[in-house]
């Protein structure tokens, strides 16, 4: 019995071919849209999969997806999986040097790219020695094969080689704390760790056949809306969760708050995924402004992964959309899903999560579980990745064997209490050592964002002659807010944090910089704080 993502998708297609699978709303305001049933999406994926095989790309070779959100993104991922070609996400904000690094590090032999990025692809291509096939999506440009032409040339039928649960899926990390790394997943492991075994909120399926049976018996009616870029692993996995249920996926090319809310109302969105306050706050602003009165009653959940929806922002959203569940999920590219935050998570008690049975807090050296209250690192066993592509050193540091099981050691520092609830302190790589005390930026950011005048904030450590490092806050004020002083902010934080965690430096900025998916850019925050010092 094996779980291959393409096989599973095809089994859903076979029992629900006429259900709507994918709705794509093009540039906001144009009114253009595409709607595909499961049968139509299956045929479209077959076409691109056959084109890639016919172009000489073989099973196990790597293809980069350098794209905005769109039908072509998911169509190409599915086409790759069908043809046993390994899909690799590419951050579309990368400039030439970063692209050269990723293209080479991932050993890409093909790239499907948006025409808007043609100049960057053309500049990086000569130094990516293995890259031999390009497919261009969208109008304009001249590099590579037009996507429509590639699609038309491929057969709409299946007829692919036999697949396996060992077939790979690579997710490149965001690279916000260093160079991005390619996490190598067996598809079967990703199905259970990242997609909940076909039932994220219930019992995993016991066989691929059971997945199809559940889809056939369950009917349609749920609409999933992954709002962040699909090149952010969580969004692609959210789409596949929807496919595993035989339900509908809605996509926008880019995140535009007003258009997101129009789509929620028009398409009766059930479940939206986003990334923290960076996406939830603009939705709140729109609901308080131009989109006031938008009907969001169809939504039963809004989930965040990769960044926390702070207590203050969650409360503001619930005042506007009172019946929705707000879920702060905890996971990573290296572990999939680990757990969900408790209701009492917040600046006072910390980011507390109820983890799954495969997750522990362990000593990073001995790999043994830590005692309640002691600080360790989050680790997960069972369905974990094979390692980092092209990086045996990092693989050896992060993955280990214990009690006959494969484990992954995450970068998140945490404690665990007597009831097994884990309090995540933050990434060890971002920990600030000030006067011998450890400060994790995430808890300070939660306190900062509870101030009524703070719109967004990042925290970094800055060298300090007296303390070794001091805590610096880079803050974006809410529109219309008065001038905020360091003393005002310190007084506010003292109601939430111990004295050594209080920021000793405040830098005001027009916009806090984050990745397209909303993740924190700590390198940028540190540079801003250093420059202002």
Contacts of 411 (CB under 8 A, 6+ apart): 177, 377, 427, 428, 429
If you average pLDDT over every residue of the chain, what do you get? 92
Res. 408: pLDDT tops 90? yes
Q: Could you say which DSSP state residue 477 is in?
A: E
Phi/psi of residue 427, each to 5°?
A: -70, 130
Instruction: Specify the pLDDT at position 466.
Output: 83
Q: How far apart are alpha carbons 137 and 145 in whole angstroms?
A: 9
Q: How many CB atoms lie within 10 A of CB 453?
A: 15
Q: How many CB atoms lie within 10 A of CB 498?
A: 11
**Above pLDDT 70, what percent of the chain?**
98
Quick one: fold of 343-426?
Luciferase; domain 3 (2.30.38)
From residue 447, give the alpha-carbon distance in Å to each of 55, 160, 169, 498, 509: 54, 53, 38, 11, 18
Angle at 121 between CA 119 and CA 124, to 5 degrees: 110
CATH number for domain 5-218+232-240, candidates 3.40.50.980, 1.20.1290.10, 3.30.1020.10, 3.40.605.10: 3.40.50.980
How sure is the predictor about 159, in pLDDT bands with cuts at 50, 70 and 90? very high
Instruction: Specify the pLDDT at position 147.
Output: 97
Average pLDDT over residues 367-382: 95
Within the chain, all domains assigned CATH 3.30.300.30 are found at 431-532
Instruction: Specify the pLDDT at position 177.
Output: 53
Res. 106: pLDDT tops 60? yes
Res. 27: pLDDT tops 60? no
Q: In terms of CATH, what superfamily is 431-532? A: ANL, C-terminal domain (3.30.300.30)
Q: Which two tokens stand for residue 109?
A: 């032999």
What are the beta bridge partners of residue 326? 302
Res. 368: pLDDT tops 60? yes
Q: Could you say which DSSP state residue 127 is in?
A: G
Q: Which two tokens stand for residue 245?
A: 């249920």
Q: Which two tokens stand for residue 268?
A: 């009766």
Q: Are 150 and 51 in contact (CB under 8 A)?
A: yes
Phi/psi of residue 453, each to 5°?
A: -95, -5
Instruction: Specify the pLDDT at position 524.
Output: 93
Q: How far apart are alpha carbons 320 and 87 in whole angstroms?
A: 39
Q: In this predicted model, which residue has the larger pLDDT, 432 or 41?
A: 41
Instruction: Specify the pLDDT at position 482.
Output: 87
Per-residue pLDDT tens for 504-524? 999 999 999 987 767 888 889
Instruction: Specify the pLDDT at position 178.
Output: 62
From residue 48, give the alpha-carbon distance in Å to each of 121, 171, 205, 369: 20, 21, 29, 47
From residue 275, give the alpha-carbon distance in Å to each of 134, 392, 409, 431: 31, 30, 23, 22
Res. 460: pLDDT tops 70? yes
Within the chain, all domains assigned CATH 2.30.38.10 are found at 343-426
Contacts of 45 (CB under 8 A, 6+ apart): 75, 76, 78, 79, 82
Within the chain, all domains assigned CATH 3.40.50.980 are found at 5-218+232-240
Res. 270: pLDDT tops 90? yes
Which H/E stretch holds residue 215? Answer: helix 208-218
Per-residue pLDDT tens for 45-104? 999 999 999 999 999 999 999 999 999 999 999 999 999 999 999 999 888 999 999 999
Instruction: Specify the pLDDT at position 328.
Output: 93
Instruction: Specify the pLDDT at position 89.
Output: 97
How sure is the predictor about 176, in pLDDT bands with cuts at 50, 70 and 90? low
What's the gap between Cα 222 and its chain centre? 21
Res. 236: pLDDT tops 70? yes
Res. 30: pLDDT tops 80? no
Q: How far apart are alpha carbons 307 and 445 in whole angstroms?
A: 11
Q: How far apart are alpha carbons 415 and 292 in whole angstroms?
A: 42
Handedness of CA 503, 504, 510, 515 (dihedral sign): negative
Q: Which two tokens stand for residue 527?
A: 């540079």
Instruction: Specify the pLDDT at position 446.
Output: 87
Per-residue pLDDT tens for 115-156? 999 999 999 999 999 999 999 999 888 999 999 999 999 999
- Dihedral of the alpha carbons of 126, 129, 135, 137, in degrees to the nearest 10: -50
Q: In this predicted model, which residue has the larger pLDDT, 42 or 481?
A: 42
Average pLDDT over residues 201-213: 88
Phi/psi of residue 173, each to 5°?
A: -70, 165
Contacts of 217 (CB under 8 A, 6+ apart): none
Q: How far apart are alpha carbons 313 and 318 in whole angstroms?
A: 9
């Amino acid at each position: 019995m094996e779980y291959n993502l393409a096989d599973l998708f095809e089994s859903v297609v076979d029992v629900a071919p006429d259900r709507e699978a994918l709705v794509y709303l093009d540039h906001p305001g144009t009114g253009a849209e595409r709607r595909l049933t499961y049968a139509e999406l299956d045929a479209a994926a077959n076409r691109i999969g056959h084109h890639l095989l016919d172009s000489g790309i073989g099973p196990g070779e790597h293809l980069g997806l350098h794209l905005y959100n769109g039908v072509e993104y998911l169509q190409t991922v599915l086409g790759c999986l069908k043809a046993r070609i390994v899909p690799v996400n590419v951050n579309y904000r990368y400039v030439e040097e970063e692209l050269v690094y990723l293209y080479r590090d991932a050993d890409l032999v093909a790239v499907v790219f948006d025409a808007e990025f043609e100049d960057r692809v053309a500049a990086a291509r000569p130094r990516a020695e293995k890259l031999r096939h390009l497919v261009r999506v969208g109008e304009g440009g001249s590099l590579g094969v037009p996507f429509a032409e590639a699609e038309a040339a491929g057969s709409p039928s299946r007829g692919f080689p036999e697949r396996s649960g060992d077939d790979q899926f690579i997710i490149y990390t965001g690279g916000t704390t260093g160079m991005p790394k390619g996490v190598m997943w067996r598809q079967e492991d990703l199905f259970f760790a990242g997609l909940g075994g076909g039932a994220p909120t219930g019992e995993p399926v016991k066989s691929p056949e059971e997945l199809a049976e559940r889809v056939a018996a369950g009917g349609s009616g749920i609409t999933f809306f992954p709002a962040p870029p699909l090149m952010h692993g969580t969004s692609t996995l959210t789409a596949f969760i929807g496919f595993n249920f035989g339900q509908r996926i809605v996509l926008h090319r880019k995140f535009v708050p007003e258009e997101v809310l129009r789509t929620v109302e028009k398409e009766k969105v059930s479940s939206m995924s986003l990334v923290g306050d960076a996406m939830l706050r603009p939705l709140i602003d729109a609901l308080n402004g131009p989109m006031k009165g938008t009907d969001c009653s169809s939504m039963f959940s809004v989930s965040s992964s990769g960044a926390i929806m702070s207590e203050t922002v969650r409360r503001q959203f619930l005042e506007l959309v009172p019946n929705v569940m707000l879920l702060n999920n905890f996971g990573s590219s290296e572990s999939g899903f680990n757990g969900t935050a408790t209701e009492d998570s917040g600046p006072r008690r910390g980011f507390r999560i109820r983890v799954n049975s495969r997750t522990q807090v362990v000593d990073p050296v001995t790999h043994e579980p830590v005692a309640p209250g002691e600080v360790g690192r989050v680790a997960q066993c069972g369905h974990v990745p094979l390692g980092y592509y092209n990086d045996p050193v990092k693989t050896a540091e992060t993955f280990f064997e214990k009690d006959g099981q494969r484990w992954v050691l995450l970068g998140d520092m945490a404690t665990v209490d007597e009831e097994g609830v884990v309090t995540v302190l933050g990434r060890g790589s971002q920990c600030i050592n000030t006067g011998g005390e450890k400060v994790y930026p995430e808890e300070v950011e939660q306190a900062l964002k509870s101030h009524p005048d703070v719109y967004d904030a990042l925290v970094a450590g800055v060298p300090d002659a007296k303390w070794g490092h001091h805590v610096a806050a880079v803050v974006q004020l809410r529109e219309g807010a008065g001038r905020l002083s360091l003393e005002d902010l310190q007084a506010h934080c003292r109601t939430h944090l111990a004295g050594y965690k209080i920021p000793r430096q405040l830098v005001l900025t027009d916009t806090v910089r984050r990745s397209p998916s909303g993740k924190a850019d700590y390198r940028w925050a540190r540079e801003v704080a250093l420059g202002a010092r």
